[in-house]
Amino acid sequence: MIKDANQITFFTGAGVSVASGVPDFRSMGGLFDEISKEGYAPEYLLSAEYLQNDPEGFVDFYHKRLLLADKQPNVVHEWIAQLEHHQRSLGVITQNIDGLHTDAGSANVDELHGTLNRFYCIQCEHKYDKATVMAKHLRHCETCGSPIRPDIVLYDEMLDQQTISNAIQKIQAADT
């Protein structure tokens, strides 16, 4: 099917990044399982409510559990990026927040749940990239001092409508 296609749209989820050492969210041994074993409710720790009620706790949580600084794209991420570079792929629609498709070189990625490659201040919305956050160990905005957060969709937040629209267009234009 892929061999004969020229307008491929890939739809990926947690399974594609497991080979990179990224734990999936829901399976045994995944992020939710590990957090639950420690006595916490994962849905709460990843919620807009937690961010609002305890911004410092939220920042601590994502620094400890979500940044995935040592994770690299795997052969699947790279293969998908190659197909895009050879103009056989319209791009990727992903549920993953790990940013590994972009890190592999895919330029046309719709990250339905956001990405850990971008951050912004919860007060002034100043933007930061992951490299800056990691290099400077940033937890607070350099402009206003408020906590910064990853550009991911938290529980109780809506998906970005432009991202959904882009994804639908990719699906409609695909030949496989």
Quote the CA–CA distance of 44 and 28 in Å, as a whole number.
19
Tell me how many degrees the CA angle 36-33-29 measures, rounded to the nearest 5: 150
Q: Which is it for the CA torsion 27, 31, 32, 33, positive or negative?
A: positive
Whether residue 141 is annotated as binding a ligand: the answer is yes
The residue annotated as part of the active site, out of 63, 113, 126, 140, is 113
Whether residue 66 is annotated as binding a ligand: the answer is no
- Tell me whether residue 113 is one of the annotated catalytic residues: yes
Whether residue 108 is annotated as binding a ligand: the answer is no
3-state class (DSSP) for residue 22: coil
Identify the H or E element spanning 96: none
Task: Kindly report the number of other CB atoms within 10 A of residue 23's CB atom.
Answer: 17
Whether residue 78 is annotated as binding a ligand: the answer is no
Annotated binding site for Zn(2+): 121, 124, 141, 144
Residue list, annotated binding site:
121, 124, 141, 144
**Residues labelled catalytic:** 113
